Structure 1
């Protein structure tokens, strides 16, 4: 239990101290009008208070991610606490902060546009495709589960529930952000946090002991910690999906100093939620073997429901059903909204989004494949969400690194986590079943070699921009 409390304290210290350091490196300026005012269109660009932005961001990036992912990651044992804490403070929260603040500096630009500006057009084309694929996969994966549960507890069929959910998705995607998202998301974000805190308090006062830190791999299936843990627990540590969501809230910010509270703050809150559910997963079922059996019997939804109803009684059961239905839906709708905004950026050269029919037209190409994919196996979808998610995270960190290099700022705060995540995804792609399914040792060698090549490229960029910095005064004098 000491490890659990220590992890919570470290996360809070990360927000109090490291977030301020990150903000100083970025250099905020409240005298510059934010896109919410400069480009106000009462659709995507609408000024909102920071606390609303924080809770909307929390719900956008969280949903069931820090619950399901943390429960699955708990199979590895207390080492999951280490990844959540250090991943969140030094990678995930930094990733989210820069994806939001760089969007503000580029007038509300979406993630692929930022990538194109700092990593080149060819990378932008790649990331446009993979971002849209990720959004579609997330919308599909976070719709199938709720639709199945609705079909179980109501007279509605699975397909009827699916169509109702997607009907809501379309409305949330084309209506102004302050109509639905701005009104109900702060409330739902608060409920998500309250649910996690209630579980945490109940767990502490139960007769079960939260295990203390050990770096031993306790996974019953003997799956390796590296790189699988870093992909299994993404929400709560670092998730590329967040880089597609941060620009949504960036378009509503009143001033730049709100960014630390909104982006870094929401990620730390998500880290706390992930810690609580990871602790619940590895404690409630008397170890990782018991957790694996529970997951095999009822899946993550069954695990969440059993923990909630046992620790919180009837209220817990209601919250569990609410969470499994509502929370993923609120992630799916913003995934499609983000897809629509990305496509709008791509198509901006050809026509303006000056009426709701055009907005609806852009929404259809991402809604139809998401609806189709929602009808297939959830676990299959989730495997590919994990892979594409962390590829996007790596690209966003490299984008932020190049932004800092070009600005002659302290680039290491993004560059080091970017290298770490590059190693994760390079190894994972070769080892994972949804990748090339190569032997572990071979995957490690190839993953390390590719990361080494990227490291050489990074060093080359550092040398390049140091020379440019030295030459700048001479050019100015000339």
Structure 2
């Protein structure tokens, strides 16, 4: 019964937050105005700038920000106990993550659809802009490499997911064609597409595919090459051709998956077997600050600011949709994180079974363990609905892989924008083009992923969490300066910025100290560079903040 009460309490809390706090920020702080022309109309080109109805854009935005991270992070974090994990997801989503995502979307919409990094040049100065873009480039570089490896590992772990995941591409392309070229209403074609997806999942159970080694390359590296080729193609195609339609299908797939899990939760009424607090997790880093770094997506994530101000803003049809997509999208991710936590604390048969899975940090921190905790635990809920364990595992494994794929190609597309902006600044014309920038994005990520036979991205993974949250803090700082210049209340972004900059700096310095003690020169150096970049950007931004504050005070005194 405890798991049901947690689910209901969280859902009700998010609904209240959306209708009160979200509405307050939207109407009082940003003064959303449907009459304002959005960048999707200003620069409509049918490729990147495409005015899109809110249901379709919500699906694209939600699946882009979610990926596999709100499953992976919470599945690890419950090692410290389920109470801290749930509280961070609830309060982090409402007061930090949703504010961060919505505000990034709004300032981009009011700055010609430019990325948060590009906007920082207008709001702070050009030095911060260049540093911010470089920081985003580095973060996305790690992300693309890591998620290519994650998908490759998932294909190896769950070979039944290969067929349905790849069949989703022609299904999505057909859906996009019917909606945008034939003018069909999206509802019926999308439902047919969803039904076809579940047919492919059933077929995949009987046609599992194991990639062989090819030309001396391991199966994992073969998958990484194929995925990089896919990411390149998906990034340069018009957004309506594949990304929008596939993400719309994925959002429906997730909703069905969540409904099935929640229905199973209410029917099975599983007891929570995990401890509320666990202070003796073997080998785990301290809960503070690492809880707030481990659960990023699902509470607050810097990557979301690149999505809001990258792909989403270029498809925003009207400012009135911003709260639903920006604030509501983050709360939807919080629901996914909550369900993941419940699956990982109530999906085990006993405390002994849970303890065996979470015996140590190294056990819980392994990718297979993270995913299997969700897939296996969720499957146990689905069996209460009469589904077999085989079908339940197939449904949930495809869901996880599909979401990881949305992160891969959305991140590649955003990386293309970042590289183009940097190339234009430094007058490197070949790299400013769509194909040149995308080529750099995928080649750089592939080289990183291929280090040590496919462990390259995972080598840098310990830094990614801190770098991602650092990006969130910096995005909140830029928005805070923006609000100050507009003479708007700044506490809604200033307080989250202060919290995040303290937490992520603490975690980064802890990691640097650990890497140095281990003699890991690569991670120590990269961590130090990130720390210097952060301090530089914060100092520059605070100087502008103080200058603007003084000017505001002077004008008030004069008045």
State whether TM-score is above 0.5.
Answer: yes
TM-score, with normalisation over the residues of structure 1? 0.88
CA distance in 1, matches of 2:283, 2:502: 23
> Structure 2 matches for 1:190-229, cutoff 5 A?
190-206=252-268, 208-210=270-272, 217=279, 219-221=281-283, 223-229=285-291
1:259 maps to 2:322: yes
Does the C-alpha gap of structure 1 residues 468 and 32 become closer, same or farther in structure 2, counting only changes over 3 Å? same
SS at match of 2:315: coil
Aligned twin of 1:122: 127
Does the C-alpha gap of structure 1 residues 88 and 347 become closer, same or farther in structure 2, counting only changes over 3 Å? same
Deviation of 1:53 (Å): 1.1
Does the C-alpha gap of structure 1 residues 466 and 160 become closer, same or farther in structure 2, counting only changes over 3 Å? closer
1:347 maps to 2:423: yes
CA distance in 2, matches of 1:254, 1:411: 27
Deviation of 1:199 (Å): 2.1
Instruction: Spell out, residue by residue over 1:215-271, the C-alpha distance to the aligned partner (whole angstroms, 9 max, x if none).
Output: 664645453221100000000100001111112111111111110001111100000
- 1:164 counterpart (226, 232, 235): 226
Instruction: Spell out, residue by residue over 1:42-91, the C-alpha distance to the aligned partner (whole angstroms, 9 max, x if none).
Output: 21111000111111110100011111111111112121111001111010
> Structure 2 matches for 1:297-316, cutoff 5 A?
298-312=368-382, 313-316=389-392
CA distance in 2, matches of 1:14, 1:139: 32
Aligned twin of 2:394: 318
Instruction: Flag structure 1 segments of 5+ consecutive residues without an equivalent.
Output: 439-450
CA distance in 1, matches of 2:147, 2:472: 19
CA distance in 2, matches of 1:219, 1:82: 19
Aligned twin of 2:478: 399
1:80 maps to 2:163: no
CA distance in 1, matches of 2:463, 2:299: 18
CA distance in 1, matches of 2:137, 2:515: 22
Does the C-alpha gap of structure 1 residues 37 and 225 become closer, same or farther in structure 2, counting only changes over 3 Å? same
Aligned twin of 2:358: 292
Maintained 8 Å contact 2:357/2:369: no
Moved more, 283-292 or 268-277: 283-292
CA distance in 2, matches of 1:461, 1:366: 32
Instruction: Spell out, residue by residue over 1:340-377, the C-alpha distance to the aligned partner (whole angstroms, 9 max, x if none).
Output: 01122223454889xx9931111111111211233333
Deviation of 1:414 (Å): 0.1
1:468 maps to 2:551: yes
Maintained 8 Å contact 1:75/1:220: no
Aligned twin of 1:443: none
Instruction: Spell out, residue by residue over 1:182-241, the C-alpha distance to the aligned partner (whole angstroms, 9 max, x if none).
Output: 222111122123323322332343253237995664645453221100000000100001
Aligned twin of 1:442: none
- 1:12 counterpart (15, 21, 37): 15
SS at match of 1:374: helix
Does the C-alpha gap of structure 1 residues 7 and 149 become closer, same or farther in structure 2, counting only changes over 3 Å? closer
Moved more, 458-467 or 100-109: 458-467
Maintained 8 Å contact 2:54/2:321: yes
Moved more, 284-293 or 313-322: 284-293
Does the C-alpha gap of structure 1 residues 453 and 255 become closer, same or farther in structure 2, counting only changes over 3 Å? closer
Aligned twin of 2:237: 175
Deviation of 1:8 (Å): 2.6
SS at match of 2:391: helix
Does the C-alpha gap of structure 1 residues 403 and 410 become closer, same or farther in structure 2, counting only changes over 3 Å? same
1:384 maps to 2:463: yes
Does the C-alpha gap of structure 1 residues 137 and 115 become closer, same or farther in structure 2, counting only changes over 3 Å? same
Maintained 8 Å contact 2:298/2:330: yes
Instruction: Spell out, residue by residue over 1:119-141, the C-alpha distance to the aligned partner (whole angstroms, 9 max, x if none).
Output: 32222222212211111111111
SS at match of 1:150: helix
Maintained 8 Å contact 2:47/2:239: yes
Instruction: Spell out, residue by residue over 1:4-49, the C-alpha distance to the aligned partner (whole angstroms, 9 max, x if none).
Output: 4322321221112110011121111222211111111221111000
CA distance in 1, matches of 2:15, 2:275: 19
Deviation of 1:391 (Å): 0.8
Instruction: Flag structure 2 segments of 5+ consecutive residues without an equivalent.
Output: 160-208, 212-218, 383-388, 518-533
Deviation of 1:292 (Å): 1.0
Aligned twin of 2:404: 328
Instruction: Spell out, residue by residue over 1:130-165, the C-alpha distance to the aligned partner (whole angstroms, 9 max, x if none).
Output: 211111111111111222333463242323322221
- 2:436 counterpart (355, 361, 367): 361
Does the C-alpha gap of structure 1 residues 267 and 470 become closer, same or farther in structure 2, counting only changes over 3 Å? same
Moved more, 417-426 or 12-21: 12-21
Maintained 8 Å contact 1:36/1:253: yes
Instruction: Spell out, residue by residue over 1:377-406, the C-alpha distance to the aligned partner (whole angstroms, 9 max, x if none).
Output: 364343222121011001001011111111
Aligned twin of 1:445: none
Deviation of 1:453 (Å): 13
1:374 maps to 2:449: yes
Q: How many residues align?
A: 463
CA distance in 2, matches of 1:120, 1:306: 50
Deviation of 1:99 (Å): 0.9
Does the C-alpha gap of structure 1 residues 12 and 435 become closer, same or farther in structure 2, counting only changes over 3 Å? farther
Aligned twin of 1:64: 68
